[in-house]
Amino acid sequence: MAVLSPVPRTRGGISGFMLMLLGAWGAVIPFVGPYFGYAYTPDTTWTYTTGRLWLSIVPGAAAFLGGVMVLLAVSRPAAMTSGFLAALAGAWFVAGVPILAVITTAGPGTPVTSPGSAFSAPVMRLLEGLGFHYGLGVVIVFFAALALGRFAVGASSAAGYSTTPTEVQSASQGGSYRSA
């Protein structure tokens, strides 16, 4: 029978909050980015496309939900599942654009560069790619991995795998271990 250890309230709080923030950014930026010249086509605000659904809304909602679940998890398996959900969302932000380009015609559109922009067209395309998909996905995977690591370390110490300094010292002096 498996024993579920409770999750301390201090574990995963910052990661969960950052996952929520980044997920909200990823889901909303295609709709509000055109207000300040940071967009993919169609460069009109609050315009829905299938590409925005699959490349921004769905992974953004999954990362946001994973962050909420990390914050509210009461058991380690639930917290690990939510961290894994957020990591999958981040991976989809990174890999979704090339995958969707292969299997369907729905895509993010083309990056918009305005003539009076502070950055040149290639720099703006780079910044839009990082802020909308690739960089955002990497940062989400990073915070999801932090959450998963925190919960995994807590699970190993709760299971009794950690050793005390006296056990390590007696083992190093040949106390309970025999060499062949």
The predicted-structure confidence for 46-91, as pLDDT tens digits, reads as follows 999 888 899 999 999 999 999 999 999 888 888 899 999 999 999 9
Q: pTM for the complete prediction? A: 0.77
- From CA 36, how far away is CA 106, in angstroms rounded? 24
Domain boundaries, the chain: 13-155
Torsion of Cα atoms, 65 then 61 then 134 then 124, to 10°: -130
Q: At what angle do helices 58-72 and 134-158 cross, to 10 degrees?
A: 30
Beta-bridge mates of residue 111: 40
Q: Could you identify the residue written with the tokens 């271990």?
A: 177
- From CA 54, how far away is CA 100, in angstroms rounded? 8
Beta-bridge mates of residue 6: 75
| 6 Cβ neighbours under 8 A, 6+ residues apart | 74, 75
40 vs 54, which has greater pLDDT? 54
- From CA 57, how far away is CA 64, in angstroms rounded? 10
pLDDT tens by residue, 99-116: 888 887 776 777 776 666
pLDDT band per the 50, 70, 90 thresholds, residue 27: very high
38 vs 70, which has greater pLDDT? 70
